[in-house]
């Protein structure tokens, strides 16, 4: 692997969020090394102006080589997906700890200036998420610890690793807890897609085929908040360059049920569908929302793109993918 100085390394740059982040960083005139384990043909976006490297960062030698010469690191690499994947692949999700640990070791070794870690709302204690009318989750609600099994435990463990690397070695780390990021150029089928993309696909399929019925996992009353990708990209950069070393929520506080999410997408598509509820499907916690008090106090920041506007962009893109897939 070639090692030369770059402004930014994006680990997981072939993923959904990583691809959008690399695009934005390049637009700012920064030099970017984008690294992902997937074959390049499977990357969500490939940017010709970046150094695009296929490498398994769970191996220490690859993490060392990828980080060599990078001033800043965005650590987004993880084996993850929507709730269907997370609930059925707990060991795979936890094995991401190898990537997380080796990237921290590499960042320390190469004297990286700033290190960003993308954590998740899955770190929050499950007993605080049992009601659809959820009290928004504030950062302190991660403790006493009882995160989502597998994926959530790995994220919380790595948050602590970032904290101790800062305390013990002086590595400047910043941690954002992502809340349900969605948008175009993401996973929309195959089992790893999240609720907004899945709903957009189902409604688009109904619109294209004329068969106006869809399946909903659970009873549709489970609640979430969803953040559009552009807000995620801007917020991540803001947190990396900020002064706070504490984990901070990065998400929308606009709470909706899955049924309401379907309502919005149906309105965008101009159709109504018969809903069939699959009550034995994976559905995660009963309710989850982002308390944005800390990020407002620290950065004066709130997501700028409403769910309706973001879903309109996402639905248009997913519709085109569904249309193409059907020939």
Half-sphere exposure of 218 (CA within 13 A, CB side): 17
Instruction: Give the number of C-alpha atoms closer than 13 A to the C-alpha of residue 318, restricted to the C-beta side.
Output: 30
What structural domains and CATH numbers belong to the chain? Answer: 6-181+228-250 (3.40.50.720), 183-225+254-325 (3.90.25.10)
DSSP letter at 46?
A: -
| pLDDT score for 226 | 95
Distance from chain centroid for Cα 39: 20
Asked whether the bond before 201 is cis by omega within 30 degrees of 0, the reply is no
C-alpha radius of gyration, the chain, whole number: 19
Q: Give phi and psi for 8, each to the nearest 5.
A: -140, 135
Please, are residues 197 and 203 in contact by the beta-carbon 8 Å criterion? no
pLDDT given for residue 209 in this prediction: 96
pLDDT at position 324 is 94
Pick the catalytic residue from 44, 117, 151, 228. Answer: 151
Give the pLDDT of the chain (327 residues) as one tens digit per residue. 445 899 999 999 999 999 999 999 999 999 999 999 999 999 999 999 999 999 999 999 999 999 999 999 999 999 866 566 767 778 888 899 999 999 999 999 999 999 999 999 989 988 888 878 777 899 999 999 989 888 899 999 999 999 999 999 999 999 999 999 999 999 999 887 889 999 999 999 999 999 999 999 999 999 999 999 999 999 999 999 999 999 999 999 999 999 999 999 999 999 999 999 999 887 777 888 899 999 999 999 999 999 999 999 999 999 999 999 987
**pLDDT at position 252:** 95
CA distances from 130 to 178, 221, 295 (A): 20, 12, 24
- Whether 178 is a known active-site residue: answer no
pTM metric for this prediction: 0.92
Please, which residues bridge with residue 8 across strands? 32, 72
For position 135, what pLDDT does the model report?
A: 79
Bridge partner residues of 116 (DSSP): 74, 174
């Amino acid at each position: 692997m070639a090692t030369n100085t770059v402004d930014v390394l994006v680990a997981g740059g072939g993923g959904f969020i990583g691809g959008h982040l690399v695009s934005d960083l390049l637009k700012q005139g920064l030099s970017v090394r984008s690294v992902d384990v997937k074959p390049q043909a499977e990357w969500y976006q490939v940017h010709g102006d970046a150094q695009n490297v296929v490498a398994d960062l769970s191996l220490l030698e690859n993490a060392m080589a990828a980080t060599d010469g990078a001033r800043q690191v965005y650590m987004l690499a993880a084996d993850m997906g929507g709730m269907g994947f997370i609930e059925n692949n707990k060991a795979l999700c936890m094995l991401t700890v190898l990537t997380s640990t080796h990237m921290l070791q590499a960042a320390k070794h190469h004297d990286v200036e700033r290190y960003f870690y993308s954590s998740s709302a899955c770190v929050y204690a499950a007993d605080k998420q049992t009601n659809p009318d959820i009290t928004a989750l504030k950062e302190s609600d991660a403790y006493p610890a009882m995160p989502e099994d597998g994926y959530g435990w790995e994220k919380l463990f790595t948050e602590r690793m970032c904290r101790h690397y800062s305390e013990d070695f002086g590595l400047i780390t910043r941690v954002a807890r992502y809340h349900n990021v969605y948008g175009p150029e993401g996973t929309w089928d195959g089992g790893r897609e999240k609720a907004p993309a899945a709903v957009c696909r189902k409604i688009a399929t109904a619109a294209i085929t004329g068969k106006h019925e869809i399946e909903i996992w659970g009873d549709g009353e489970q609640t979430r908040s969803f953040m559009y990708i552009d807000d995620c990209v801007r917020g991540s950069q803001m947190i990396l360059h900020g002064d706070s070393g504490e984990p901070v929520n990065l998400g929308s506080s606009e709470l909706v049920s899955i049924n309401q999410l379907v309502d919005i997408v149906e309105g965008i598509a101009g159709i109504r569908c018969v809903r069939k509820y699959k009550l034995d499907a994976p559905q995660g916690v009963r309710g989850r929302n982002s308390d944005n008090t800390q990020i407002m106090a620290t950065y004066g920041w709130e997501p700028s793109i409403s769910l309706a506007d973001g879903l309109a962009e996402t639905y248009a893109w997913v519709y085109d993918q569904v249309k193409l897939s059907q020939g």
